[in-house]
Amino acid sequence: MLESGAEFQGLLRGAPVSADRILASSRQGYGEAVFNTSMTGYQEILTDPSYYGQIVCMTAPHIGNTGVNEMDPESSRPWCAGFVIHELCATPSNSRSQNDLESYLKDHGIPALSDVDTRALTLHLRSRGVERALILPTSERHRSAEIFGKLPRFEGRDLIAEVTTREMYRFEDKGEEKGSHPLHIVAMDFGIKTNLLRSLAAQGCSITVVPASTGPEKILALRPDGLFLSNGPGDPAAAPYAVETIRKLLGKLPIFGVCMGHQLLALAAGAKTYKLKFGHRGGNQPVLDNETGRVEISSHNHGYAVDSSSLPAQAKITHISLNDRTVEGIAIPSANAFSVQYHPEACPGPHDSAALFDRFAAALKRV
């Protein structure tokens, strides 16, 4: 059920869902309906905290073919509010598979729909834009107006505060030997993905992950060589505390931001952000590097963008989307800071932009 009144029917899968369950928690079965054009990587999508508060429609017709495993998650659990697919594979075939997708969704409390006309749903969202949505049994669809009226909208809601770590911690990559990290960075957790941490550790960095509300004094007291700004869900303007922290650290440390981190860096520099009609979500998004002229195929998951006309003179646009010309990267040379809107760490890929981690490591070593 979409807020506009449009209905897309399917078979209920995964965890049980009802109007009363949604009203009691609003974490599952209620969210913004979005679509993702990735052909694979559904387990990474489910466990990416940036999808918190979203009901994700996969445009690929067959989902679940490779099952699920303990190696691929991007966090400790799935975060999306619901999952919508066309055809669910009940018998996965992959040497790494440890369970089937429907059992995984049920175990983690995520309601889903299969046998949905996902092509029609995607076309609807492209033409009308992102909408609030519900996953409900047919017998309870008459309660949709009641639920929409009682539950909060997502614009202006601080979703970062709902997904960030509650305590500071050190990230230890099992693939790295102790003592092999001469560089120390602080990562502000706005909804951080595990593979971002792995990618930073692979550059020879020890990483202290801190809550999104951590102030500049506490960050500097950790004596880092640089600051990393992570991905995360929702509206960047709803986290002014993070913007203020970044503003106070500009010029004091090398800074690298990804996705939400990119938007927060732009806000800290004095720019504005705005909500896209239907966002960018998928692993096949073309981005132009303005400095090299190289086109990179990249992974995206964002519903907001930086307003190019609002960027201050000291910030330059380094990357743009070839789909809609939105800002995909900025640099502030005077502050030794740069960011990208997309995901250079993407799992399962693409990996065209992995060199951005090399660039950050080089900036750390120059300080």
At residue 79, does pLDDT exceed 70? yes
Please give the backbone phi and psi of residue 11, each rounded to the nearest 5 degrees, phi first. -100, 130
d(CA 278, CA 17): 26
Which of 216, 210, 211 lies closest to 160, judged by CA?
211
Q: What percent of the chain has pLDDT over 70?
A: 98
Model confidence pLDDT, tens digit, residues 33-43: 999 999 999 99
* Residue 260 exposure: Cα atoms within 13 Å on the Cβ side: 32
Distances (CA, A) of 240 to 156, 231, 251, 261, 311: 11, 16, 19, 13, 18
State the SS3 of 232-262.
CCCCHHHCHHHHHHHHHHECCECEEEECHHH
Can you tell me whether residue 161 is helix, strand or coil?
helix
Residue 22's contacts (CB-CB under 8 Å, 6 or more residues apart) are 28, 29, 30, 134, 136, 147, 151
Residue 331, strand partner residues:
316, 338
Q: What pLDDT was estimated at residue 200?
A: 96
Residue 87: count other Cβ atoms within 10 Å of its Cβ.
15
> How far out from the chain centre does Cα 344 lie?
12
Residue 113, strand partner residues:
12, 84
Model confidence pLDDT, tens digit, residues 143-194: 999 999 999 999 999 999 999 999 999 998 755 544 456 899 999 999 999 9
Pairing of the two strands 273-289 and 337-340: unpaired
Question: Which residues participate in catalysis according to the annotation?
Answer: 259, 343, 345
d(CA 341, CA 303): 11
d(CA 313, CA 294): 24
What number of helices (H) and strands (E) belong to the chain?
A: 11, 18
Model confidence pLDDT, tens digit, residues 278-289: 999 999 999 999
Q: What pLDDT was estimated at residue 177?
A: 46
In this prediction, residue 347 has a pLDDT band, given cuts at 50, 70 and 90, of confident
Give all domains of the chain, ordered by start, each with its CATH number.
11-150 (3.50.30.20), 160-366 (3.40.50.880)
Return the structure tokens found at 130: 């992102």
Residue 153: count other Cβ atoms within 10 Å of its Cβ.
10
d(CA 51, CA 32): 10
Contact 201, 207 (CB under 8 A): yes
Q: What is the mean pLDDT of the chain?
A: 95
Q: What is the pTM of this model?
A: 0.95
Model confidence pLDDT, tens digit, residues 114-132: 999 999 999 999 999 999 9
Q: What pLDDT was estimated at residue 137?
A: 97
Please give the backbone phi and psi of residue 208, each rounded to the nearest 5 degrees, phi first. -105, 120
